[in-house]
Amino acid sequence: MAIRPGGSGTPPDRATSQQSLSLEPASKGADRVAGMVARIVYHDEETGFSVIRLRSEERQGLSTVVGRAAHVAVGEWVEAEGFWRTDPKHGPQFKAEEMRVSAPATRDGVEQFLGSGIVHGIGPSLAKRLVAKFGEAVFDIIENSPERLREISGVGKVKSASISQAWGEKRRIREVMLFLHSHGVGTNRAVRIVQIYGDDTLSILREDPYRLVKDVRGIGFATADSIAKQIGFDSDSPTRIKAGIRQVLRDAQTQGHCGLQRDRLYEAALHMLQVEKTKIELQLGELIASAELVQDMVSHLNGSEVSGTACVFLERLHHAEQHAAQQLLSLSKGKVPWSSLDPKEAISWAEEELDIEFATSQRAAITKALTSKLLVITGGPGVGKTTLVQAILKILGRKKIDMKLAAPTGRAAKRLSEATGMSARTIHRLLEADAQSGGFKRNAHNPVDCDLLVIDEASMIDVTLLYSLVQAVRPDTALLLIGDVDQLPSVGPGQTLRDMLESRALPVVRLTEIFRQAAESQIVQNAHAVNAGDLPNLTTTQDSDFFFVETRDSDDTQARILKIVAERIPARFGLDPMRDVQVLCPMHRGSAGTQSLNAVLKQTLNPTSDSAPKLSRDGVDFAQGDKVMQVINNYDKDVYNGDVGWVGAIDLEGKTADIKYESRVVRYAIDELDQINLAYAITIHKSQGSEYPAVVIPFLTEHFVMLKRNLLYTAMTRGKQLVVLLGQRRAIEIAVRGSDDLRRTTKLADWLRS
């Protein structure tokens, strides 16, 4: 159907051409304005926020309308419902609670619309000639008889085809925008959907709207379900029930589970879908029969008794755990790829080289590392993990062993490199992430070429990354995994390091002895106290590296954090508040959460004038100098979840921002800014694998759901020189005394034991 205007001077057919851009009805008794768009003052493609100047028949001059519209162009007809207000700076404005945008309704409107640049290939001059020739029928001509455009001087076969194609693309996008926006899908996500599905977007969505959940980041089950219901899907439709079951398992995956107990799956699916259990059982059976899902038993050790629970897994996670275990076991049973050496002699040599005397436990650990093809080393702060790795690499380096080092994040890789004096990279770069396939170029058929592979911060590795990693290890390569099992587990599914240790199927070294120099640090003392379930020592001296500041509530905490970060730490310790100090929060929300703290810290540490160039996304402004963090893996740009950078040049015309990372600059388009967050304050989970000269940690009872021992332990162990803990003693007691609730539903330990 063509987008065409109605009769001259009247609005067009609203049923076919309007964008209704609000999910809520306008207030009762709301005012109304209608007219042609004369000028667009501002339009945000991400949020749809618009400021337009409207020429209305009811009012003299131009009216300013402020509201949200997915698309709007000069010459289009707008009807808005809302209320008039007087802005102190800009004067009278109409605040639209609902805006409906239609194709132009007059010859003048059609001419302005086409001449605005909305259709590629048509400028003001050609628009004037088109309307003069075809009048209001010009839309039908462009769409259905584009060859007639050649009746206009200067328009040939190529140009007429180009105009027709551009118009068709614009029309299709507008139809999709109308359809999606009416279901709460934002503009940029709608554009992504069109990019993924192309011309088949509407037919695909009408056939199975639940595909959106899997195919488009940021679209949840509720949005897809809303679309499905409004286009006629029954609540007990097999398509809907299967999608709901998948969603329950995806939700479990976001909480770290590889699978879910069958009873819990039913419970969650019943709550989500509100249908009979027998119908869920039927569709679950079909998903298992088709091998999309896998049902398997997971064992639990209760004292000396082993019991099993029926669990349901997404097939890819079940496969990843099973095959990762097989490869780990295979590697552990091989012979080391270096010629025999005398561990005692090698250790004595390393002591001289490093000017250190190893403890008995360290000597035993080095001996085990030199004689094991696969070894897992675990321990907390101050127990000598770094020294141990230095010794192992020193000894094997003397034998000209080809070694490669890696860690899950860029910051962790940098730390490993600084500690060893050897080059280290992220696991994604080691495996050569492939943007085309979403996988890795290094795999079982093209393994990493080295004799020894050293992986630090192994607790951060989720099961899918572990699977990819061990598949890319040559059969004759030795593997050394290092991590602190008591830290938070991976953000992704699995608890791989814990499962390796609990299986008792692999060679393991547990370091527990705290060495003298580390024992003098109150950070180390308190971290070990928390890990053991004891309260940390909150009484500190002036020369301490650990401070506790008691606060009344979240607002008081925010105010104190601002002063501590911006003034007291720089003055007392000479640290840069932007680069050396990191605020770590249990949660995003609240005055002491990342969202509020990022806003006030940005305002204080990187103030920008109103005229300074900035780009906005979801209400957040990004300006030059802002500290930001990448929050998803982007293989095309070769930047990964957790990478920290700084906003550089901003191009307002091109709507791009340059982000300066450790060794290079990466350009982001405005619709890619949802991949980064401000990083003055980050969650404790996002800090895994990183160390900072100073960390500032709000810890309040309002964070109750997150008050876990391993969360506090992880946060405290991120600080190298200084830890400042702010909040309430009761919150610390809750975290320390409570259970970590670490148990995730996984089967890796079972596979290793078998």
Confidence of residue 182 (pLDDT cuts 50, 70, 90): low
pLDDT at 742: 62
Question: Confidence band (pLDDT; 50, 70, 90) for 291?
Answer: very high
pLDDT, mean of residues 64-77: 80
With a threshold of 0.85, does the pTM exceed it?
no
Longest dimension (CA), the chain: 97
Q: With 0-12 CB in 10 A as exposed, 13-18 as middle and 19+ as buried, what is 44?
A: middle
Stronger pLDDT, 502 or 223, i.e. the higher one: 502
The residue among 226 and 733 whose pLDDT is bigger is 733
Answer yes or no: are the C-beta atoms of 738 and 560 closer than 8 Å.
no
Lowest mean pLDDT among 110-119, 478-487, 598-607: 110-119
Query: Residue 523: what pLDDT?
Result: 94
The pLDDT of residue 96 is 85
What average pLDDT does range 582-605 have in this prediction? 94
* pLDDT number for residue 459: 95
* pLDDT at position 450 over 70: yes
Measured CA distances, 390 to 280, 357, 362, 449 (Å): 55, 13, 12, 21
Q: According to the model, what pLDDT value does residue 74 have?
A: 81
Q: Is the pLDDT of residue 609 over 60?
A: yes
**297 and 441 in contact (C-beta within 8 Å)?**
no
**What residue has token string 């001259």?**
8
What is the C-alpha separation between 135 and 132, in angstroms, rounded? 6
Which tokens go with 261?
């107990």
Distance (Å, whole) CA 528 – CA 550: 21
Instruction: Say what the pLDDT of residue 373 is.
Output: 96
Q: Measure the CA–CA gap between 395 and 388, rounded to whole angstroms.
A: 11
List 95's β-bridge partners, or say none: 66, 83
**pLDDT, average across residues 282-290:** 97
How far apart (Å, rounded) are the C-alpha atoms in residues 680 and 558? 13
User: How far, in Å, CA of 364 to CA of 367, rounded?
Assistant: 5
- Sign of CA pseudo-dihedral 50, 51, 53, 57: positive
Residue predicted with more confidence, 411 or 677: 677
* pLDDT value of residue 173: 67
Q: Which position has the higher pLDDT, 111 or 272?
A: 272
Q: Is the pLDDT of residue 495 over 90?
A: yes
- Write the Ramachandran bin of 419: left for phi over 0, alpha for psi from -120 to 50, otherwise beta: alpha
Q: What are phi and psi of 51, to 5 degrees?
A: -125, 115
Predicted confidence at residue 45, as pLDDT, reads 64
pLDDT confidence tier of residue 25, bands split at 50, 70 and 90: very low
**Strand partners of residue 692:** 719
Confidence of residue 553 (pLDDT cuts 50, 70, 90): very high
User: If you average pLDDT over every residue of the chain, what do you get?
Assistant: 87
pLDDT exceeds cutoff 90 at 496: yes
Predicted confidence at residue 712, as pLDDT, reads 95
Q: Are 252 and 313 in contact (CB under 8 A)?
A: no
327, pLDDT greater than 90: yes
Structure tokens at 220: 């949840």
Please return the burial class of 706, using the count of CB atoms within 10 Å of its CB with bins 0-12, 13-18 and 19+: middle
Residue 1 has pLDDT above 50, yes or no: no
Assess whether pLDDT exceeds 50 at residue 18: no
pLDDT exceeds cutoff 80 at 6: no
What confidence category does residue 417 fall into, taking pLDDT thresholds of 50, 70 and 90?
A: very high
Indicate whether 680 pLDDT > 90.
Answer: yes
d(CA 379, CA 385): 7
Separation of alpha carbons 298 and 284, rounded Å: 19
Residue type (1 letter), 19: Q
Which residues, at least 6 apart from 365, have a Cβ–Cβ distance to it below 8 Å?
A: 377, 388, 509, 511
59-63, 113-117, 299-303, 515-519: segment of lowest average pLDDT: 299-303
For 26-141, strand residue ranges (E) read 31-43, 49-55, 62-68, 77-87, 91-102
Give the H/E segment covering residue 723. strand 719-727
pLDDT for the residue 484 = 94
User: What is the pLDDT at residue 518?
Assistant: 66
Q: Backbone phi, then psi, for 111, in 5-degree steps?
A: -65, -45
Residue 26 has pLDDT above 90, yes or no: no
Confidence of residue 27 (pLDDT cuts 50, 70, 90): very low
Q: What percent of the chain has pLDDT over 70?
A: 90
Instruction: Give, to the nearest 10 degrees, the angle between helix 107-115 and helix 124-134.
Output: 150
pLDDT recorded at residue 181: 65
Would the pLDDT of 16 be above 90? no
Decide which of 522 and 16 is more confident.
522
Q: How far apart, in whole angstroms, are the C-alpha atoms of residue 209 and residue 187?
A: 17
Give the pLDDT of residue 21: 33
Residue 148, pLDDT score: 92
pLDDT at 12: 37
Cα(205)–Cα(228) distance, rounded to whole angstroms?
8
The alpha carbon torsion through 437, 442, 446, 447 (nearest 10 deg) reads: -160
pLDDT at 13 (0 to 100) = 40
- CA pair distance 248, 268, nearest whole angstrom: 7
pLDDT of residue 308: 84
Q: Which amino acid is at 419?
A: A
Nearest by Cα to 181 from 168, 172, 190? 190
Q: Are 182 and 23 in contact (CB under 8 A)?
A: yes
* Better-scored residue on pLDDT, 238 or 58: 238
Flag whether pLDDT at 306 surpasses 70: no
Please check the confidence at residue 674 and state whether its pLDDT lies above 70.
yes
Neighbours of 608 (CB within 10 A): 16
The mean pLDDT of 274-289, rounded to a whole number, is 96
Q: 79-91 pLDDT, tens per residue?
A: 888 888 887 777 8
What structural domains and CATH numbers belong to the chain? 32-102 (2.40.50.140), 107-231 (no CATH), 238-316 (1.10.10.2220), 334-514 (3.40.50.300), 521-626+674-737 (3.40.50.300)
What does the buried/exposed string (b/e) look like for 453-485 if buried means 16 or more CB atoms within 10 Å of the residue's CB?
bbbbbbbbbbbbbbbbbbbbbbeebbbbbbbbb
* pLDDT above 70 (res 517): no
Sign of the torsion angle spanned by Cα atoms 555, 559, 562, 565? negative
- Higher-pLDDT residue of 124 and 236 is 236
Per-residue confidence band for 305, with pLDDT thresholds at 50, 70 and 90: low
The pLDDT value recorded for residue 740 is: 59
pLDDT digits (tens, 9 = 90+) for 345-391: 999 999 999 998 898 889 999 999 999 999 999 999 888 898 999 99
Calculate the alpha carbon distances from 672 to 42, 71, 174, 582 in Å: 20, 19, 21, 25
Which pLDDT does position 329 carry in this prediction? 97
Q: What is each CA distance from 693 to 50, 574, 583, 720, in whole angstroms?
A: 44, 11, 11, 5
For residue 426, the cross-strand partners are: 407
pLDDT value for 104: 74
What's the pLDDT at 56?
81
For the stretch 392-402, pLDDT in tens is 999 999 989 99
∠ CA 602-624-695, nearest 5°, is: 40
Greatest mean pLDDT among 423-432, 515-524, 701-710 lies in 423-432
What distance lies between CA 152 and its chain's CA centroid? 51
Strand partners, 50: 43, 67
Mean pLDDT of the region 153-180: 78
CB burial class (10 A; 0-12, 13-18, 19+) of residue 99? buried
